[in-house]
Chains A and B, each alone.
Chain A
């Protein structure tokens, strides 16, 4: 046995922003941008229901749908489309982190929104909380707002999913830092 020195084989993480960024505030008059994907049916159903509630609170809602094909010419097209989408919204709601690679893209797109100064919330399912947090930290935004939905979710039927959406409405508003009393009163 001999004690000596070895060199650390690991690399340090990037600098971090630990704050959550600005609150969404009053929804009335604002544009809420909702990022959806081409994988999760349940996320379409949830965001459709939430969008109606945001509209009831006076917000305009814009959806932006993307695929996992974020490379090559298709990747360039999607990147440009994301940039355009982020330019046209006041609040970003980004999901769904419900698998490994789609959590990666959800967090990366959310970080892109947060870096633009937008009030940003990423949405994940329970099974992908740790990954979402780990990727947020590694992306330099450990304070990224994260709302957690139950898991498994995509395997549920539409009625069950919509019940989850209604149940999580107060929670998502709170995570977003949104003031939308009209929404909550209506929901109640």
Chain B
């Protein structure tokens, strides 16, 4: 459909307004896309990917050329204006408009239906308390994981069962990659220039986007516990995944003890003096979650028990580390904790039915998890916690 926009046409009914945003492959008489046009190869993915690498836009994997037609098609399916400013992203302070998001999402191979989720995730990451500036410049390998709650998990095929943190063949990888390309092209996170990451991380290529298995979780959905019901994303800055295997435990408190103790190691950001506080995220498989809930019904009690078991004897640390932690008031009764309060132990339920494993995500430190509702259009006020 090609639409000619006319000035002074007045308010439109909601559906008509949405239609007007779809100017189709031929475009509108009034051009809504403001990005510079660049001539290059548009049919050959390999040639375009090489060109994109040379321009500094690529991540080393094949990219779909973001032609006007593809970007217009992508935007045409959503109820958003191309010039709507969603946020600015550090360290570059780049203006992240819907148009720029769409261009990068097209390159990553994300579907148009994922736009509201990507927008919500970026809004969450742009919150000052998420400390994206630090995450994008640090020597650490930190990257944001995106946890999805609500019915949108199934509409977008976001995995929450087997292989949900990576490996499941779903749209999540393309969505995560779109967000990573936005970090590169709009936030300006470039290794060796703005990012000093010593090693980087596999999670910096296509992110980690996964859902919570709400239907098998004994607890309320993660986002709901944080004040947002229904479709929502939560973003959390993690140093990576660490596996916890337990083939022995049978009772809830045994699993909790094994998980908690496994999380305590001296080099975790939360246990180092460079970070005064931190959070920690745990993905617990549905089998263990049910057992833990059966034996320890209140989630707050589970958090308290996990927190207590993350304690490390301060004497286990080197004298220099211990002294610096003491000066920060982080040593209590000879113990140091990964996080300062039990409520900062955050739990989600996901993973395959085979059980046997939990995943710990140590945090960057001062980045605070953000949860944002996923909305279809710009008119609804976003909810944040």
B68 touches A7 (CB 8 A): yes
Q: Which residues of A contact B37 (CB under 8 A)?
A: 5-8
B131 touches A6 (CB 8 A): no
Task: Mark interface residues in A58-89 (1 if CB within 8 Å of B CB, else 0).
Answer: 00000000011111101100000000000000
Q: How many residues of A contact B (CB 8 A)?
A: 40
Q: Which residues of A contact B197 (CB under 8 A)?
A: 100
Known: A4-B42, A7-B33, A100-B138. A67 touches B96 (CB 8 A): no
A1 touches B44 (CB 8 A): yes
B92 touches A9 (CB 8 A): no
B95 touches A68 (CB 8 A): no
A3 touches B40 (CB 8 A): yes
Which residues A113-142 have CB closer than 8 A to chain B?
128, 130-131, 134-135, 138-140
Complex formed: what's the CA distance from A135 to B93 in Å?
A: 10
Complex formed: what's the CA distance from A85 to B197 in Å?
A: 31
A72 touches B68 (CB 8 A): no
Known: A6-B42, A11-B185, A71-B366. A135 touches B91 (CB 8 A): yes
Q: Does A170 contact B (CB under 8 A)?
A: no
Q: Considering residues A71, A75, A102, A140, which has the most beta carbons from chain B within 10 angstroms of its beta carbon?
A: A71
Q: Does B274 contact A (CB under 8 A)?
A: yes
Residue of B whose beta carbon sits closest to that of A39: B274
A1 touches B139 (CB 8 A): no
Which residues A5-50 have CB closer than 8 A to chain B?
5-14, 38-39
Chain A's nearest CB lies how many Å from the CB of B70?
Answer: 9
Residue of A whose beta carbon sits closest to that of B182: A9
Residue of A whose beta carbon sits closest to that of B97: A11
Complex formed: what's the CA distance from A108 to B128 in Å?
A: 13
A-B CB pair tally, cutoff 8 Å: 173
A38 touches B94 (CB 8 A): no
Q: Which residues of B contact A103 (CB under 8 A)?
A: 137, 196
Q: Does A169 contact B (CB under 8 A)?
A: no
Chain A's nearest CB lies how many Å from the CB of B161?
Answer: 33
Complex formed: what's the CA distance from A71 to B185 in Å?
A: 25
Residue of B whose beta carbon sits closest to that of A2: B43
Query: Residues on A close to B: CB < 8 A?
Result: 1-14, 38-39, 67-72, 74-75, 99-105, 108, 128, 130-131, 134-135, 138-140
- 23 A-B residue pairs with Cβ-Cβ distance under 8 Å, sorted by A, are A1-B43, A2-B43, A4-B65, A5-B67, A6-B37, A6-B48, A8-B36, A8-B37, A14-B92, A68-B134, A69-B276, A69-B366, A70-B131, A70-B134, A99-B139, A100-B195, A103-B137, A104-B134, A104-B137, A128-B196, A131-B194, A131-B196, A140-B93
A7-B103, A130-B193 given; 20 more Cβ-contact pairs under 8 Å? A2-B43, A2-B44, A3-B40, A4-B39, A5-B68, A7-B38, A10-B57, A13-B188, A38-B273, A67-B328, A72-B368, A99-B139, A99-B196, A100-B137, A100-B138, A102-B274, A103-B137, A131-B196, A135-B91, A138-B188
